[in-house]
Amino acid sequence: MKSRSSFIQFIFLPFLLASLWGCAATEQHEQLSSREGRPSSFEIIEENGQLTEEIDTEATLSEPEITVAEEIKELETLGEWDAGKPEKVSAKAEITYDFPVTMNKQVEFYLNFFQHKHKKSFARWLERSGRYLPMMQEELRQAGLPLDLVYLPMIESGYSLTAYSRAKAVGPWQFIHSTGRHYGLTIDNFVDERRDPVKSTRAAIAFLSDLYDRFGDWHLAVAAYNAGGGKINQAIKRYKTNDFWELAQKSYLKNETKRYVPKLIAAILIAGNPGKYGFDNIDYQAPLAYETVEVPAWTSLRAVEVACGADLEDLKDLNRQLLQMMTPPDKDGYLLKVPMGRKEILAKNLPKVHATSTTNYKTHVVGKKDTLSKICTKYNLNKLTLLKANNLRKSKLTPGTRLRIPVQTTHYTLWDRDLPSSENDGSRLVLHTIKPGESISHIAQRYNVPLRLVAAWNELSDINRIRAGQQLALYVTDTAGTANIVTAKTAPHRPNTTTPVYYQVRSGDSLWSISRRFKLTATQLKKWNNLKDNLIHPGVRLRVSEPS
């Protein structure tokens, strides 16, 4: 579409969001060995408190588009377009077609093109098609469309979910932004459903259905899929014919659109009977199979990997629509795809995933053209932070100097037992009352914690919507000058003689109701939790046992 105009559901406590949030645009992934009595874990890098996890950069130029110029040049040597004749198929034929197959010199050109010069590419597309054909054919069948349209993504993207074109079309069906959104696909900074094979297939079917209803001919409909309905409609009006092959003989339609129909017909013929055309021993990929699990907003695929033991690459491939490898922040629940047999273990373990963040450093060697501003822009730092991290008093830099660049490392860990309390793992609860003029960014910087975790701990769906006087809960610990951030825990601990007891504030709670529940006074609660007033918020953890 190069130039188109146009389950298991389970409930997590709100504070569990903190253990699931994603991390930085730049990351290092280190798989650590599991030892007896210790959790398995890995780490990823978050660049200086940014809200984004690493971006899925595995976008690839659409393979079929690479040869467009070559195809057009060679097609032009064939001379006038040939109207051709419909392919005759006997009633006893093993292979039949429900898309109108016409044979002419342009179709024969593509049959030869795929069988010889670009045989390796076409074989790769055939192999890749095995993953998506069953699902796509079923969607086409339910919609009552020709099943042969299942091969349209072959000439659009080679069945690649990460394909993009020079016209900024994306995904297996190569939707441009406006058409994708028109047909119900979500496209924003976190999600691009053009890369979701199921949702993009349904959108493509709706688009093709509209085009067929408009033109009443499948050749014209697929040509309009490439050029846009308006372009085809103008061609029909100009030449007073609704026969695609007659329109192809005229100059109005671009060669890129003209070649689209014979190319699809050739793909249908070969894919329907690959052995006949010399494509033997094709190793088709296994059909797409997955389960869906509803998970909270900001759930990182890294956390899911730890929780259910699935391979990260498999999770990414099943959820290519997640551009930042995390579920979107504006959805309370998001249906995540996981490999078959993993949803139950994910439901069980996701609440046990424990995330901690620490500040580490990497090295930048100052180049000849480097300035303090350039380095700060590159690593998304402010100048004061960079100067302090390197004990510098002036901004002039000497080439060859090695600078310490602070970055935040987030560790995800799966514990087989209840997570330790924040007291046990060295953290402390800090209740910060927002002052006039303060922003979440300033507060996160002050306490040296990731912006995303401040938002998660306090259930802030919009970090810009805060008010003076509002109280924020922060879980921090200072170790050798490094701030470690721990997540809230999965459940309150039962009282005993050695472990402090904490209570997670819920909607409707007040200091008075909590004090009555634990047979305390509001004064005791305020003293033990360093509260200056009676204002508390859902998600805050209050100590409800007397400090030893």
Provide the 3-class DSSP secondary structure of residue 451.
helix
Residue 429's identity, in one-letter code, is L
Cβ count near 178 (within 10 Å)? 12
- What whole-number distance in Å separates Cα of residue 543 and Cα of residue 212? 66
Tokens representing 36 are 């007896």
Q: Give the closest residue to 41 by CA, choosing from 320, 307, 279.
A: 307
The sign of the CA dihedral 68, 74, 77, 83 is negative
- What whole-number distance in Å separates Cα of residue 407 and Cα of residue 45? 7
Q: CB within 8 A of 545, min separation 6: which ones? A: 495, 500, 501
Q: Half-sphere exposure of residue 157, counting CA atoms within 13 Å on the CB side?
A: 28
Decide if 156 is catalytic: yes
| Alpha carbon 11 to its chain's center | 22
Residue 320's identity, in one-letter code, is R
| Alpha carbon 510 to its chain's center | 39
- What whole-number distance in Å separates Cα of residue 229 and Cα of residue 210? 10
Residue 138 is inside which H or E element, if any?
Answer: helix 119-143
Q: Give the closest residue to 475 by CA, choosing from 543, 404, 526, 532.
A: 543
Residue 303's identity, in one-letter code, is A
Provide the 3-class DSSP secondary structure of residue 269.
helix
Provide the 3-class DSSP secondary structure of residue 158.
coil
Do residues 468 and 438 lie in contact, with contact meaning Cβ atoms separated by under 8 Å?
yes
**Active-site hit among 47, 156, 294, 305:** 156
Provide the 3-class DSSP secondary structure of residue 482.
strand
Q: CB within 8 A of 348, min separation 6: which ones? A: none
Do residues 542 and 488 lie in contact, with contact meaning Cβ atoms separated by under 8 Å?
no
Q: CB within 8 A of 374, min separation 6: which ones? A: none
* Enzyme catalytic residues: 156
